[in-house]
């Protein structure tokens, strides 16, 4: 939903910044790499220590690079297969660091095995959700479904909750409960999305196989 409705808005807002970077000689690949490094640092330095507010601030400063890199490539007319591969692959790395950071907190000082497991489930299911689309497309299917919770939703739900939960350290009472709630929502939403995508791939692959068999029989 966010990919559909919010992308146009962010494209308008970020286009001047992307043009500025291009004028300064920065490449889209450099933005992809630097953005991922920033997200990883924010997630792995701050989240395992329970510093959710500062971790979210650092991650938010870098995560929008994922919208800037493609914007730069399109403006400069240099969109490439390599760029698409690098972008998607490093998305997986960044997501691993974010949910891994939550899991490390709950495995350590956060001391909650159930939430540690939920965070690991969010990490794994998010990766599998993205894989279903990539693998389906690689075998020639359209995978014409996005599903309930795509990457943008996973990030917005968990980061808004983490940022607000982090305000607990500044004296806001009770607010830390938002992070467990968000992780449960992302876990359940990702499971539903996974089922939606698998069902779609199953239907599309049966249709494609049937069409191939009938054209073989006809010839
Ligand atoms: C006192 C307040 C303290 C709290 C501070 C909190 C502040 C802010 C908190 C959060 C901000 C989070 C922003 C997150 C933005 C995410 C942007 C982003 O990276 O989106 C990426 C997404 C997908 O891009 P790609 O096409 O490159 O990726 C593809 C995708 O990954 C596919 O995976 P799949 O979806 O299938 O699982 C892969 O299959 C594919 O390979 C891959 O290429 O981009 C978009 O979707 C575009 C839309 C982005 C919309 C972002 C909306 C942000 C909206 C609001 C944030 C601000 C909220 C502020 C709240 C403040 C609370 C008090
Ligand atoms: N280093 C890069 C990054 C991205 N691209 C191209 O942009 C597409 C992704 O667009 P986003 O708005 O989601 O970032 C990607 O598929 C590539 O075509 C690129 O060329 N180089
Ligand atoms: Mg990108
Ligand atoms: Mg991306």
Report whether 10 contacts 64 (CB < 8 A). yes
Can you give the pTM of this predicted structure?
Answer: 0.93
Burial class (CB in 10 A: 0-12, 13-18, 19+), 215: exposed
Q: What is 124-173 written as a DSSP string?
A: HHHHHHHHHHHHHHHTT-------S--HHHHHHHHHHHHHHHGGGGGT-T
pLDDT, tens digit (0-9, with 9 covering 90-100), for 155-212: 999 999 999 999 999 999 999 999 999 999 999 999 999 999 999 999 999 999 999 9
Measuring from atom 17 of ligand 2, which residue has the nearest CA? 84
Closest ligand to C-alpha of residue 160 is 1
Indicate whether residue 73 lines ligand 2 (CB < 6 A): yes
70 is in an annotated binding site: yes
pLDDT at site 5:
85
pLDDT, tens digit (0-9, with 9 covering 90-100), for 18-28: 999 999 999 99
**Cβ atoms within 10 Å of 114's Cβ, excluding its own:** 10
pLDDT, tens digit (0-9, with 9 covering 90-100), for 138-163: 999 999 999 999 999 999 999 999 99
Q: What is 79-137 written as a DSSP string?
A: --HHHHHHHHHHHHHHHHHHHHHHHHHHHTTT--HHHHHHHHHHHHHHHHHHHHHHHHH
CA 178/CA 157 separation, integer angstroms: 10
Which residues are the active-site residues?
91
Q: Is ipTM over 0.85? A: yes
209 is in an annotated binding site: no
Query: Pocket of ligand 2, candidates 87, 92, 94, 150: which has the most ligand atoms within 8 Å of its Cβ, to mutate?
Result: 87
pLDDT at site 219:
83
């Amino acid at each position: 939903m966010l990919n559909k409705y919010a992308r146009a808005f962010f494209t308008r807002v970020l286009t001047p910044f992307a043009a500025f970077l291009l004028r300064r000689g920065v490449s889209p690949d450099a933005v992809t790499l630097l953005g991922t490094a920033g997200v990883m640092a924010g997630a792995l330095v701050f989240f395992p220590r329970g510093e959710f507010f500062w971790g979210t601030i650092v991650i938010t400063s870098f995560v929008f690079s994922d919208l800037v890199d493609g914007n730069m490539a399109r403006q400069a007319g240099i969109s490439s297969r390599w760029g698409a591969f690098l972008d998607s692959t490093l998305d997986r790395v960044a997501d691993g660091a974010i949910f891994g950071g939550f899991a490390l907190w709950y495995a350590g000082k956060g001391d909650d095995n159930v939430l540690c497991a939920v965070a690991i489930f969010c990490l794994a299911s998010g990766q599998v959700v993205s894989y279903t689309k990539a693998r389906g497309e690689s075998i020639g299917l359209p995978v014409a479904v996005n599903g309930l919770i795509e990457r943008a939703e996973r990030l917005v739900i968990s980061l808004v909750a983490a940022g607000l939960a982090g305000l607990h350290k500044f004296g806001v009472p009770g607010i830390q409960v938002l992070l467990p709630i968000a992780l449960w929502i992302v876990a359940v939403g990702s499971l539903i999305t996974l089922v939606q995508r698998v069902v779609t791939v199953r239907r599309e692959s049966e249709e494609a196989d049937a069409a191939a068999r009938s054209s073989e029989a006809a010839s």
